[in-house]
Chains A and B, each alone.
Chain A
Amino acid sequence: MTAILELKNVSKNFGGVSAVSNVSFGLKQGEIVGLIGPNGAGKTTLVNLVTGVHSLSDGQVIFKGEDVGSQKPFQAARRGLARTFQIVQPFPEMTVLENVSAGAVFGGAAGGIAAGQEAAQAELDFVGLGHVANEPASSLSLPNRKRLELAKSLAMKPSVLLLDEVNAGLNASEIDDALKLIEQISGRGVTILIIEHLMKVVLSVSERLLVLHHGELIADGTPKQVVEDQRVIEAYLGAKFAERYKVAG
């Protein structure tokens, strides 16, 4: 089966700093894949490269067989390549419903504003924000803002969803709720890439894990393979610990 989203030798340099170098991987239709790595590993940069926020220094991004390496963010959104932000980005003075209908009207298939609102209401009910549809977005709590962000991306009817730290700042029970929601989204046939630096969160939902360290992809495999990978342990816990772990193991 061919990949719906494929990165080939993707690199990004900011001046002399190489933020992402030579990363290649593919996402298959309907998969949930986790992308992990320590702070500053280049995870968010990678998402920005895929959605056209940054231009590629080198390599190719192929989405549904089409080279989309030079797309703009709004084009990515219309193609069905949606993302959420690590730092939530609502339209603060609009209502929750208007926020989500923006996704439906501009990024999704909804023809007019009325159709967009209908689609938006459905997504709000899905993520559990139906009861606050007419509140201003700025009044929501952090977990609800994260849900709003999700609803907004879902209203765009994406085929691939990039979730950039949707769980950051949530407590344990809120994370459980968010993970349930992610599984439900996956049940709708959406391919999902979850970006996280919390191992625990990703391990519980991902079918496959990618590990980024200093901008390079150092591991790609099942969660079990990855947590036992020598280079991953080194990246997270340092070379000294990895050495001891190896002896003990």
Chain B
Amino acid sequence: MSIAAVVAYTIALALIPQFAGNYETRIAISVAMFSALALSWNFIGGFTGYPSFSTAAFFGLGCYIGALSQRAGLPAEAAWMIATVGVAAFAAALGAIILRLKGHYFAIGSIAIVEVTRLIISSWGSVTGGGDGLNVPLMTGTPDVVAARILYIMLAVMGGAFVATVIVDRSRLGFGLRCIHQNEDAADMVGVDTTRFKIAAFVLSALFCGLVGAVYASWVGYIDPTDSFSILLTVKVPVMALLGGAGTLAGPIVGAGVFVLLEEFFWANFLQWNRAILGIIIVFLIFFLPGGLLKIRYKNLLKKLSANRSADRSNTVSEGEAKG
């Protein structure tokens, strides 16, 4: 059911440039981009239960590998592929080391990766342009055409990430990752090669981020270290996945959509309170929605509400009788 819903949703997003203006198309691109990032995070954070904050490192590296390849004269599509493969290889090498950490330690280690990669990129001025950033060859065409193209590409990446999620969910890999999530020692004991499974999840969580980063660089035409390796991005993406429902198929897409729309609304109406509202959403999630929007039992909720209402009514009735 969720697969059909995601297909319909993707088609609806793809139709936006036909019926709406540039502003709406830009939001649709954001929605597709963050959906792809949240779906990626879901492999390591949702299925495996490792709270990764490395998203911005993968995204930023994707931006830079893509931008540098394009500046070296490669066509955009080739640059995107190189960025994907490069980031995946980076995650595989790194995963073998960092996945030895667990829980809070892993979370802190994964944030450190964002900072370290950002520092390397900004200090390595001769190659990356340092703090001045890099200009990326612009895509040819009118703004409308370019925006529509970027939207289709981002939607394709989101679709790819979703298909990968469905495949993993139904395979041995997904089963093994869920076992690791529930009890890593027990998973090891029943024969799950936990190290290899975790690295596979980490690589899956990285490669779509790398691709999204490279496409993003082509879209905006200019990247710099602070923007590419943003700590806010690294926090926002897990929050989106948690908002929708970590470990579910469509949860990250729901979460990313809701979050981007909320953020847009708050940006437009409460500019100064924007960050505070992100904080409130995080606190709200932890206390009231640990399973995410998709895990709420809406039927039970309705039943409870109606039960309360009828209980109130019977209370007032009996009070009335007592008085009478």
Total of A-B residue pairs, C-beta within 8 Å: 68
Say if the beta carbon of B182 comes within 8 Å of chain A.
Answer: yes
In the complex the two chains form, is A106's CB within 8 Å of B176's CB? Answer: yes
The interface residues of chain B lying within 8 Å CB-to-CB of A98 are: 175
The interface residues of chain A lying within 8 Å CB-to-CB of B192 are: 74, 102, 106
Say if the beta carbon of A91 comes within 8 Å of chain B.
Answer: yes
Closest CB of chain B to A242's CB: distance in Å?
A: 38
The contact of A102 among B170, B187, B193, B194, by CB within 8 Å, is: B187
The interface residues of chain A lying within 8 Å CB-to-CB of B144 are: none
Given contacts A74-B192, A74-B194, contact A89 B172 (CB under 8 A): no
Interface string of B167-204 (1 = CB under 8 A from A): 00011100110110011011111111110000000000
In the complex the two chains form, is B186's CB within 8 Å of A106's CB? Answer: no
Closest CB of chain A to B302's CB: distance in Å?
A: 24
The contact of A78 among B176, B183, B187, B191, by CB within 8 Å, is: B191
In the complex the two chains form, is B183's CB within 8 Å of A77's CB? Answer: no
In the complex the two chains form, is B182's CB within 8 Å of A77's CB? Answer: no
Say if the beta carbon of A97 comes within 8 Å of chain B.
Answer: no
Closest CB of chain B to A178's CB: distance in Å?
A: 20
Interface string of A136-156 (1 = CB under 8 A from B): 000000000000000010001
Complex Cα spacing A103 to B183, Å: 13
The interface residues of chain B lying within 8 Å CB-to-CB of A113 are: 170-172, 175
The interface residues of chain B lying within 8 Å CB-to-CB of A223 are: none
Complex Cα spacing A90 to B183, Å: 7
Please count how many residues in chain B sit with their CB below 8 Å of the partner chain's CB atoms. 19
The interface residues of chain A lying within 8 Å CB-to-CB of B191 are: 74, 77-78, 103, 106-108, 156
> In chain B, what residue has the closest Cβ to A78?
B191
Given contacts A74-B193, A105-B172, A106-B176, contact A91 B188 (CB under 8 A): no
Complex Cα spacing A44 to B193, Å: 22
In the complex the two chains form, is A106's CB within 8 Å of B190's CB? Answer: yes
| Main secondary structure on B side of the interface with A | helix
In the complex the two chains form, is A105's CB within 8 Å of B185's CB? Answer: no
Closest CB of chain B to A52's CB: distance in Å?
A: 9
In the complex the two chains form, is A91's CB within 8 Å of B189's CB? Answer: no
Please count how many residues in chain A sit with their CB below 8 Å of the partner chain's CB atoms. 25
Say if the beta carbon of A73 comes within 8 Å of chain B.
Answer: yes
In the complex the two chains form, is B178's CB within 8 Å of A77's CB? Answer: no
Interface string of A155-182 (1 = CB under 8 A from B): 0100000000000000000000000000
In the complex the two chains form, is A91's CB within 8 Å of B183's CB? Answer: yes
The interface residues of chain B lying within 8 Å CB-to-CB of A105 are: 172, 175
The interface residues of chain B lying within 8 Å CB-to-CB of A93 are: 182
Complex Cα spacing A143 to B227, Å: 56
In the complex the two chains form, is A89's CB within 8 Å of B185's CB? Answer: yes
In the complex the two chains form, is A89's CB within 8 Å of B189's CB? Answer: yes
Complex Cα spacing A231 to B175, Å: 49
> In chain A, what residue has the closest Cβ to B170?
A113
Of listed B183, B185, B190, residue having the most chain A CB within 10 A: B190
The interface residues of chain A lying within 8 Å CB-to-CB of B175 are: 98, 102, 105, 113
In the complex the two chains form, is B190's CB within 8 Å of A107's CB? Answer: yes
Given contacts A74-B194, A83-B189, A106-B192, contact A89 B176 (CB under 8 A): no
Given contacts A72-B188, A102-B187, A113-B172, contact A91 B193 (CB under 8 A): no
Given contacts A102-B192, A107-B190, contact A91 B179 (CB under 8 A): yes
In the complex the two chains form, is B186's CB within 8 Å of A90's CB? Answer: yes
The interface residues of chain A lying within 8 Å CB-to-CB of B187 are: 91, 102, 106
Say if the beta carbon of A239 comes within 8 Å of chain B.
Answer: no
The interface residues of chain A lying within 8 Å CB-to-CB of B179 are: 91, 94, 102, 106
Closest CB of chain A to B134's CB: distance in Å?
A: 44
Closest CB of chain B to A111's CB: distance in Å?
A: 9
> In chain B, what residue has the closest Cβ to A72?
B188
15 CB contacts below 8 A, A to B, read A74-B194, A77-B188, A89-B186, A90-B183, A91-B179, A94-B178, A94-B182, A105-B175, A106-B176, A106-B187, A106-B190, A107-B190, A108-B191, A113-B175, A156-B191
